[in-house]
Amino acid sequence: MGVGSFLPLGYLQEVMDCMSEAFWLVTSDDRRPILVDLGSQDKRAFRDDAIEITMYSVGKGEAIVISRGGRAILVDGGAGNKAKNDVLGGALAARLAPGSLRAIVASHPHRDHTNFYRVLAQRPDLFAQGAKYFDNGTQKAEDDWKRLRKSQANLPFVREAVGHQRARDGDNRIPLGPGVEVHLVRGKTRAKSRAVQAYWSVFLFLRYRDAWMLFTGDAMKGYEKLLLPRLEDISGRAHMLKVTHHGSSDGTSPDLVTSLRPRISIVSTAKDPTHRIEKDVRERLSDSEIYATYDLKRPPPRAEDIIVRTDGRLWGVNGFEGVLFEVSTQTPALT
């Protein structure tokens, strides 16, 4: 497929400061993504065919919805501010179409990633028949599941624990339509502490045609290293990365970045200084365009939702070929 032109590099910063959307071509080589200019007809065709990832700005927490053709997956969903969870969870429920949710993927049992589930469970109309609830299978996850069942006897989804590198059980269990693959992978370390085991995040590797996207929960570097051979086996690269642990230095290892070569990175951050992208993480992702729900590096600093779209097809631009991504921002929709 063809694209109109490159955006003139001399005007790059000026344009990025005033636009709420950007189209990036991610090529197969190691160059930075190329900012391109699409005509209105190409934009319309692209969006009509795209899968959409929305990372909501929820402060000190995380909530991501992956949607395609009226079907959706919720990856995590919660905020550290207990007083806000009913409001935020209710607002998220109001944005989901009836019967759209095929699955919740609870990457790991931390409340800032799971606090919305009780609210959503009270809306069975949102879930498709046979909807699944995936977690990391640890004792803490089991305790969270018991609390969820206690809050509502007839939950609109069934639980599946994702075991250690169970590839056959972990792959392709969430139907999002033709051209979409979902791989759920979980590793483990030698940790005996339940508090440390809680970080054994479920990784969701998403393919839409030729586009690959990785969602990492709150994994730490050593844990990422253990999973890297499995991730390489699935894809070999990730065009888009959900940065782990709100940009903390304890994740996003150099090995992960070097191997999977992400060129679009999204991260859930907050005004709170403990939930920002740390300097070494930003340096490791220097070949990637980084978008954060709160980022002092993209002035003026403000909270924003991040929306990523890709049609997963190969586009050609002035002799370059790659997968096209649109990244846009909006005023937070859940507050």
Tell the burial category of 39 from Cβ atoms under 10 Å away from its Cβ (0-12, 13-18, 19+). exposed
Over the stretch 136-160, which tens digit does the pLDDT of each residue have?
Answer: 999 999 999 999 999 988 999 999 9
DSSP-assigned letters across all residues of 133-187: EEE--SHHHHHHHHHHHHH-SS-SSEEEE--BT-HHHHBS-S---TTEEEEEEE-
329 — pLDDT class (breaks 50, 70, 90): very high
Which residue carries 């090529």 as its tokens?
27
pLDDT, mean of residues 59-66: 97
Closest CA to 67 of 47, 87, 90, 88: 47
pLDDT, mean of residues 183-188: 90
Contact 205, 234 (CB under 8 A): yes
CA gap 50, 9 in Å, rounded: 27
Question: Does the structure show a pLDDT above 70 at 224?
Answer: yes
Give the predicted TM-score (pTM) of the model.
0.93
11 — pLDDT class (breaks 50, 70, 90): very low
Please give the structure tokens belonging to residue 196.
């440390």
Q: How is the chain split into domains, by residue range? A: 5-330
Over the stretch 73-96, which tens digit does the pLDDT of each residue have?
Answer: 999 999 987 778 999 999 999 999
Question: Does the structure show a pLDDT above 80 at 10?
Answer: no
Question: Does the structure show a pLDDT above 80 at 53?
Answer: yes
Please give the structure tokens belonging to residue 232.
């390489």
Backbone angles phi, psi at 82, to 5 degrees: -60, -35
pLDDT, mean of residues 209-213: 98
Please give the structure tokens belonging to residue 113.
């990633």
Question: Does the structure show a pLDDT above 90 at 236?
Answer: yes
* Res 12: pLDDT: 42
* Res 168: pLDDT: 47
Closest CA to 244 of 199, 283, 286, 274: 199
Contact 240, 265 (CB under 8 A): yes
* Res 84: pLDDT: 87
Residue 2 is given by DSSP the state B
Topology of domain 5-330, CATH: Metallo-beta-lactamase; Chain A (3.60.15)
pLDDT, mean of residues 191-200: 91
20 — pLDDT class (breaks 50, 70, 90): confident
Backbone angles phi, psi at 78, to 5 degrees: 180, 170
CA gap 183, 213 in Å, rounded: 10
Please give the structure tokens belonging to residue 79.
């905020």
Question: Does the structure show a pLDDT above 60 at 287?
Answer: yes
Question: Does the structure show a pLDDT above 80 at 166?
Answer: no
* Res 4: pLDDT: 58
Residue 31 is given by DSSP the state S
